[in-house]
Amino acid sequence: MEERIQKLMAQAGVGSRRECEKLIADGRVSVNGRTATLGDKADPATDTIVVNGRPIKPLQTESLYIALHKPKGVISSLDDELEEGRTTVRDLVPLPGHLYPVGRLDKQSTGLILMTNDGDLAHKLTHPRYGHEKTYKVIVEGRISNEALEKWREGMYLDGRKTIPAQITVIRQDVSFTHLEIVMREGRKRQIRRLANMLGFPVRQLVREKIGPLTLGSLKPGDWRHLTAKEVAALKEIVASVKGKRPYRKSGSKPPSRPGKKPGSKPTNRPPSDSRKKSGRSGGRSGSKSKR
C-alpha cells in the first residue's frame, strides 16, 4: 500500500514528519534511485527508500521511548552528527536503530529530552497547534522587576510574532539573581534566553523539568531510562485529547470582538455625530432631520 514518503520515513524513525519533509526538500531522499519530492508516495513492500545514502525499513516492530537528562555542552540536534568531535544526545543512548530527540535544548541548557523512533507521536508533541506544556527552572541575573515579569507573562514580540502567554512563578529572589519556574506552550529557538535578554535579565542557568506529564525526576545529567507503559500512554492520551481542537489560546481569553458587534455597546465604526451632520448638510438635507 502506498503512503507519503515522509510518513514512511517517520515510521522508520528517521525523524519527525517535519524533519523528514525537510530532508525530502533538501534532495537527500530517493525512491528506487530517483530523487524524491514532497508529495511523492511509495509502497514499503516493493519500493526502496534511501535517506542520506542509506536504505530504510519503514516498518519497525518495536517503538522506543527514552527519557534523557541532557548535560551542558551536549548538542540536541542530530544534524550536528555531521561535525566530528561534537557530542549529541544520540551518542548518550547506545541503542541500535533510529532514535531522535523530540524538540531541542540549546547547548548550554540541561534537562529532560524525550527520544523516540515513533515519528507520529514526535510530530504531534512538537507541532505548535497542540500546545503541550513544558516546564523549566530558570535562574536569571539580577532581581527581576514585576513590570518585566508581567511583560513576559503576557507575551512579547519575537521575530515579528507575539509569544504565547506563559506561567511564571518566582521561586526565590535576591539582589543578584532570581529563580523562576516557567511553564510554556511553545518552544521557539532559544526563546527563554532571548526574552530574558530583551528584558535585561540574562539567563545563568536553564533546566527543563517536564514535557507534558513526563518528568525529569531523579535522572542525573547524562543518564537515561525507558519510559514506563503508563508514561507512554499518558503522552499518547494528551495528543489524542487535542484532536479536533483549535490551536492554543490563553486560558479564559476570547478572540477580539469586531467593532460594533459587542452586545450592549454602540457601533465603533460609525463616524462622529459632527461628521454625520456635515455630510447631511453637504447632501442638501438638514442635519436636524436625521435626529430622532
Q: Among all residues, which ones are annotated catalytic?
A: 106
Residues 160 and 31 occupy one common structural domain = no
Domain boundary among 12, 34, 55: 55
Give the pLDDT confidence score for residue 242 in this predicted structure: 63
Confidence of residue 282 (pLDDT cuts 50, 70, 90): very low
Quick one: 161 and 215 in the same domain?
A: yes
| Range with the largest mean pLDDT of 39-43, 69-73, 98-102 | 69-73
- Total number of domains in the chain: 2
User: At a CB cut-off of 8 Å and minimum separation 6, what does 10 contact?
Assistant: 16, 17, 20, 119, 120, 122, 123
Question: Does 89 fall in a domain?
Answer: yes
- Residue 60: predicted pLDDT: 52
Does 22 share its domain with 117?
no
Stronger pLDDT, 163 or 246, i.e. the higher one: 163
pLDDT at 232 over 80: yes
Residue 66 CA, chain-centre distance (Å), reads 19
The verdict on residue 257 lying in a domain is: no
Domain contains 289: no
Any domain includes 272: no
Q: Look up the domain containing 152 and give its range.
A: 65-242
- CATH code of the domain covering residue 196: 3.30.2350.10
Identify the CA nearest to 198 among candidates 160, 151, 142.
151
The pTM score is: 0.66
Q: Looking at the structure, do residues 37 and 74 belong to the same domain, yes or no?
A: no
Shared-domain flag, residues 48 and 185: no
Residue 253 has pLDDT above 70, yes or no: no
Radius of gyration of the chain (CA): 26
pLDDT at 273 over 70: no
Read off the pLDDT of residues 160-212 as tens digits, 9 standing for 90 and up: 999 999 999 999 999 999 999 999 998 888 999 999 999 999 999 999 999 99
Residue 170 lies in a domain: yes
Measured distance CA(251)–CA(242) in Å, rounded: 15
pLDDT class of 243 with cuts at 50, 70, 90: low
| pLDDT at residue 78 is higher than 80 | no
What's residue 126's pLDDT?
A: 80
Region 29-42 average pLDDT? 93
Question: Do 206 and 186 sit in the same domain of this protein?
Answer: yes
